[in-house]
A and B are shown apart, each in its own frame.
Chain A
Amino acid sequence: MTVPPGQEPPGIRPYLRSPVAPVSPAPPAAWNRPAHRAPDNLRPYVLTAGRVQGDHPAVNLETQVTIRPGAPSDVRFMPTELQAILTTCVSPVSVAEISAQAHLHLGVTKILVGDLCAAGYLDIHQLEVDPVHSPDVILRVIHGLRAIS
């Protein structure tokens, strides 16, 4: 028997509802939990489904992250933590700033940022030249700091 929309028996519906189809590739299973506000005492790595190591190797504290142009803007199916990350990344921002502004543990932030990049929502900007080995970059920093008064 088909139950008309809006007349499903109460109590089971939230867990039977299929999630809104995300862009491919499919997001990790960790996203499919109910998108309510996490309690404050939630253990941080619950958000990453227990993963403590991200899939993206290039995510460091200072790594710059931005919203990928053309990424879907409807993110209501996502957990609030991921929405908070995306809100932070409207202009270029470092992973450390995302962690501070979204009130997420740094290790968790790195993993979630890597997930959002893999799923097509964020760009992680990798450096073409390692600044540590670039006298030009260091000289620019020196000149920039000297200009501070």
Chain B
Amino acid sequence: MDSVRSPDAAPVPVKIVIAGGFGVGKTTTVGAISEIPPLTTEAEMTSAGVGIDNAGHRVDKVTTTVAMDFGCVTIDRALKLYLFGTPGQTRFGFMWDDLAHGALGALVVVDSSRLDDCYPAVDYFEQSGLPFVVAVNAFDGVLANDLESVRWALAVADHVPVIAFDARDRLSVRDALLVVLDRALDRAVSNSRS
């Protein structure tokens, strides 16, 4: 017999990570589709501070508190999608494990005039094996570089989609997330076959 879910039963949470450099439009992306105004929480990030703060050979752990924005979309009564924006500072862009653990996939938001800002995110997701999509934010509808140039510059694998979107537009963000979910579905299907 199916149990009847009360309205207050906890939904199954799923999440997608919204990554990218500082000021590329991650919070705008979250806010465009979230049913609540983006919330902010403070989290601790640790990174190897090599070559940043210390001149010697020591590799120190640098721990700092950073703000993380997130929002959510209720899919149905029993399923809720969370969107977590990674903290923007590339210096502290490591230790995203908490964010990436259990995520369906990631959207790497890119400003095509500042491509190098997104390298840490692309590196991280390539190494962790999380399905990700590169989404070039078309500021005012204009791309500084065409998508093929972006793909070439980032040197991402052929199976990684590189798309253009507008972070302020709800439907554009929805479509970008759907591309991420297609990749997540591919992974889930191939995992269940193997």
**Residues of A that sit less than 8 Å from B by CB:** 44, 60-66, 91-92, 94, 96-97, 99-101, 105-107, 109, 123, 125, 127, 130-135, 137-142, 144-146, 148-149
Which residue, A123, A138, A141, has most C-beta atoms of chain B within 10 A? A141
Given A106-B44, A138-B181, A145-B181: A133 in contact with B76 (beta carbons within 8 A): no
B43 CB–A CB distance under 8 Å: yes
Whether A146 and B8, one on each chain, are in contact in the complex, defined by CB atoms closer than 8 angstroms, is no
Task: Tell me, in angstroms, the Cα distance from A149 to B173 when the chains sit together.
Answer: 11
Given A92-B11, A127-B12: A144 in contact with B44 (beta carbons within 8 A): no
Q: Which residue of A lies closest to B78 (CB)?
A: A140
Whether B39 and A132, one on each chain, are in contact in the complex, defined by CB atoms closer than 8 angstroms, is no
Task: Tell me, in angstroms, the Cα distance from A135 to B187 when the chains sit together.
Answer: 9
Given A61-B99, A106-B42, A106-B68: A144 in contact with B76 (beta carbons within 8 A): yes
Contacting residue for B178 out of A60, A66, A135, A142, CB 8 A: A142
18 contacts between A and B (CB under 8 A): A61-B98, A62-B14, A64-B10, A66-B8, A94-B13, A96-B82, A101-B39, A105-B42, A105-B43, A131-B104, A132-B102, A133-B188, A133-B191, A137-B79, A138-B104, A141-B81, A141-B181, A146-B178
| Chain B residues, CB < 8 A from A60 | 98, 101-102
Whether A145 and B189, one on each chain, are in contact in the complex, defined by CB atoms closer than 8 angstroms, is no
Task: Tell me, in angstroms, the Cα distance from A125 to B79 when the chains sit together.
Answer: 13
| Chain A residues, CB < 8 A from B98 | 60-61
B103 CB–A CB distance under 8 Å: yes
Given A62-B13, A133-B188: A148 in contact with B170 (beta carbons within 8 A): yes
Bitwise, B1-41 to A at CB < 8 A (1) or not (0) is 00000001111111100000000000000000100000111
| Chain B residues, CB < 8 A from A123 | 10
Whether A142 and B185, one on each chain, are in contact in the complex, defined by CB atoms closer than 8 angstroms, is yes
Task: Tell me, in angstroms, the Cα distance from A139 to B192 when the chains sit together.
Answer: 14
B171 CB–A CB distance under 8 Å: yes
Task: Tell me, in angstroms, the Cα distance from A46 to B182 when the chains sit together.
Answer: 44
Given A60-B101, A94-B82: A135 in contact with B185 (beta carbons within 8 A): yes
| Chain A residues, CB < 8 A from B89 | none
Contacting residue for B14 out of A125, A135, A137, CB 8 A: A137
A19 to chain B, nearest CB (A): 29
Task: Tell me, in angstroms, the Cα distance from A60 to B103 when the chains sit together.
Answer: 11
Whether B8 and A92, one on each chain, are in contact in the complex, defined by CB atoms closer than 8 angstroms, is yes
Given A99-B41, A144-B79, A145-B75: A92 in contact with B9 (beta carbons within 8 A): yes
Task: Tell me, in angstroms, the Cα distance from A66 to B11 when the chains sit together.
Answer: 11
A7 to chain B, nearest CB (A): 46
Whether A100 and B40, one on each chain, are in contact in the complex, defined by CB atoms closer than 8 angstroms, is yes
A81 to chain B, nearest CB (A): 14
Task: Tell me, in angstroms, the Cα distance from A17 to B26 when the chains sit together.
Answer: 50
Given A96-B70, A127-B12, A142-B181: A134 in contact with B188 (beta carbons within 8 A): yes
B148 to chain A, nearest CB (A): 27
Task: Tell me, in angstroms, the Cα distance from A19 to B184 when the chains sit together.
Answer: 51
A104 to chain B, nearest CB (A): 8
| Chain A residues, CB < 8 A from B9 | 92
